Amino acid sequence: MLEVEHAETYYGETQALFGASIAVRRGEAVALLGPNGAGKTTMLRSILGLTPARRGAIRFGGRDITTAATSDIARAGIAWVPDDRRIFPSLKVKTNLALGKKRTAFRSWTEKQVFELFPALEYLLDRESENLSGGEMQMVAIGRALLGGPGLVLLDEPSQGLAPKLVQDVMKTITRLKNENIGVLVVEQNIRSVLAVSDRVYVIHQGRVVHEGSASALLADDVTRTKLLGT
């Protein structure tokens, strides 16, 4: 579904990705791991066309999106749950959710289906978004992504700042998306939790993919995991 081939991405003259290649299949959860500053967010920004790759190729459903506009990439069915969530604080929850609505070639979720996934969300609709907790904001951000009919969801550190119980809820959500045949590319620092729900994993160091393989194998291999990720 998604193929990134030898992406080289720069911020001005500073190169952040050095020929990084990854792939995500339909209905597959793929973890993208690595230390701070490794280039994980840059990979997501390259896929979204926010910081387009200067060299290499990015394809979605066979279509070359390397230099496509971010709005076109969104309409093609790639949704983003950014690390800072980007919820408009001055708007009600229902308005923030409505902003995500659009038609794509993939199944569009109805509000009712989103509330089945996150029952608490229905009771927050009239709440001002600035008063939301971290966990509530995460539900709004993921709900907004689903209302946009995604075929692939990019999650940037979705469990960041959440209590342990809510971290497990985020991991369950990843499994739910997979079961709905949505592809998931997830950047995480909760390494073991995310490996437990992912199919495959890529580890990047300094803008290069240094490990690629099965998530369960890396979860079981303490030596390799500690060497690559320190945990």
Ligand X SMILES: Nc1ncnc2c1ncn2[C@@H]1O[C@H](COP(=O)(O)OP(=O)(O)O)[C@@H](O)[C@H]1O
Closest separation in Å from C-beta 91 to ligand X: 26
**194 φ, ψ (degrees, to nearest 5):** -75, -35
Closest separation in Å from C-beta 45 to ligand X: 7
Residue 85 contact, options Mg ion, ligand X, none, Cβ 5-8 Å cut-off depending on partner type = none
Give every CB contact of residue 223 below 8 A, 6+ residues apart in sequence: none
Stretch that binds Mg ion, among 3-11, 36-44, 166-174, 213-221 (CB under 5 A): 36-44
Closest separation in Å from C-beta 130 to Mg ion: 24
Residue 179 contact, options Mg ion, ligand X, none, Cβ 5-8 Å cut-off depending on partner type = none
Contact between 51 and Mg ion (CB under 5 A)? no
Query: Which residues in the 96-135 window bind Mg ion by CB under 5 A?
Result: none
Cβ proximity to Mg ion: between 9 and 124 the closer is 9
Contact between 41 and Mg ion (CB under 5 A)? yes
Residue 221: count of CB within 10 angstroms of its CB? 14
Residue 123 contact, options ligand X, Mg ion, none, Cβ 5-8 Å cut-off depending on partner type = none
Q: In angstroms, how far is CA 124 from the centroid of its own chain?
A: 23
Binding site for ligand X (CB under 6 A): 11, 14, 16, 34, 36-42
Footprint of Mg ion (CB under 5 A): 40-41
